[in-house]
Structure 1
Amino acid sequence: MNFLTSEKAALIFTALYTTVFSAYFIVNLNIEFLGYIGVIVLVFALLYGTLYETRIPASVLWGISVCGLLHMLGGSVPVDGDILYTWRMVPLFDGGGEFYIFKYDQFVHVYLYAVVALLFLHLLRNYLGQKQPPLLIGFIALMAAQGVGAVNEMIEFIVVLLVPDNGVGGYYNTLLDIVFNFIGAILAIAGFYLFHGNAEK
């Protein structure tokens, strides 16, 4: 299949940073993030293998690529004696331990699931037609994004079982991830329909 220049650029960019981070994680024996790189490779193989049928916009492909990069940076860049994922960006709430808002980890979840929701919105509108009720399509996209988030948490649970010194976190971390997934998805869906509605008037 012949890809557009913007689609090729997103793929090349993703291939470059996954190669660099693969080498880094191999040198540092970071099995956890090598597994995540495997997930990124599988996701992009699926996206590009079906691009002719799905016609996913290049902006969404780039958004997903940036998500992968943010994840790799989060697991490798040192901040205050720990990794970037633990960086407390804005002191909105401190419930002790992992129960803290707002961290880099939560920012990544908001951004990632905003992009995932936009991906599902595109697929639903592409296959069901753009005249379907926005509330219905938006709700399905929201639930689909939450489903992807649940699968991600299952993968993290497998990491907890298989990798002794992992950085997945505990109960509060898992539930906060789900909450910020929801926030990112619903903001993206609401923003899409606000913009799309205004654009059609």
Structure 2
Amino acid sequence: MMVKFFTRRSDYLMLMFTVGYVVAFAGNAFLQANFEFLYYILLMVGLIYLAVSLNRHLHLAFFIIVNLSLLGFLHLLGGNLYLGGIRLYDYYFINGVIRYDNLIHAYGTFIATLTLYSLLVDFIDERVRHNYFLFYLMLVLMAIGIGTIVELIELFAVVFLGATEQVGDYFNNALDLLFNTLGSMLACTVLYLYRSRPHPFQLTLAYDKPRQNH
């Protein structure tokens, strides 16, 4: 009971942190008349409301809640922070190869895949769960589908808000999809290694109900 009490308290702290940075970035976007990011922030508010509502029933693990909040923060930071006059989303960590944007896409689908696993593992037929290729292929395809929805959201920003320069061209879109796939595949690799080997500690993806051994 004590663990659950502090875990739920931590959930509320993460909610306050998330609402705090959303309000701060919304104020900054409003002052700069950055309608593209006001659009993204409005969508984030809807996602936060949805996540809080669903979490009352699904009880996502604190690990996932933290990473979903961190993902939102890093996304908004990428569009508002400039390093040497270069927007963080356009900043290359490896010149001409890997940008901040690529890493966020990989990280986003990595966390999305773990979230999907947490939500679905108890409802998937045992025969499918033990068919590692099929089970992880399903997770990858679903995570890529979420990534495609994100690309459609960016398309609306291009069409209605003139965000062509910020969103990028066809090649950038293709790279987004590539890193989405890589992030999801990495998550499946982590899940496979975790599920197939003994561990000295127990990692739970949901705190309110014990997982069965698969």
Give the alignment's TM-score, normalised by structure 1. 0.88
Range moving further from structure 2, 108-117 or 131-140:
131-140
Deviation of 1:86 after TM superposition, in Å, equals 0.3
Q: 2:149 aligns with which of 132, 148, 151?
A: 151
Count of aligned residue pairs for this structure pair = 192
2:134 equivalent in structure 1: 136
- Residue 118 of structure 2: aligned partner: 122
Which of 68, 73, 93 lines up with 1:64 in the alignment? 68
Give the secondary-structure state (helix, strand or coil) at the position aligned to 1:8: helix
SS at match of 1:127: coil
CA offsets per residue over residues 102-135 of structure 1, 9 Å max, x none? 0000011111110001011111113236772233
Q: How far 1:34 moved relative to its partner?
A: 1.1
CA contact (8 A) 1:125 1:137 kept: no
User: Following the alignment from structure 1 to structure 2, what is the Cα–Cα distance between the partners of residues 57 and 48?
Assistant: 13
Partner of 2:30: 26
Moved more, 65-74 or 76-85: 76-85
The DSSP-based 3-state class of the residue aligned with 1:177 is helix
Q: Indicate the residue corresponding to 2:206 in structure 1.
A: none
1:8-33 superposed Cα distances (whole Å, 9 cap, x missing partner): 12211110100100000000011111
**Kept in 1: contact 2:157–2:163 (CA 8 A):** no
Q: Which has the higher contact order (CA 8 A, sep 6+)?
A: 2
**1:107 equivalent in structure 2:** 103
Structure 1 gap segments, 5+ residues each = 95-100
Letter in 2 for 1:139: L
CA distance in 1, matches of 2:9, 2:68: 17
* In 2: Cα distance, 1:126 partner to 1:51 partner: 16
Match of 2:197 in 1: 198
Preserved CA contact (<8 Å) 1:145 1:185:
yes
Gaps of 5+ in 2: 201-214
| CA contact 2:136–2:188 (8 Å) conserved in 1 | yes
CA distance in 2, matches of 1:138, 1:11: 30
Kindly provide the amino acid, as one letter, of the partner of residue 172 in structure 2: N
Partner Cα distance (1:73, 1:189) in 2? 27
Percent identity, aligned pairs only?
Answer: 27
Q: Which amino acid aligns with 2:152?
A: M
Contact 1:121 1:138 in 2 (8 A): no
Q: Distance in 1 between matches of 2:64 and 2:85?
A: 34
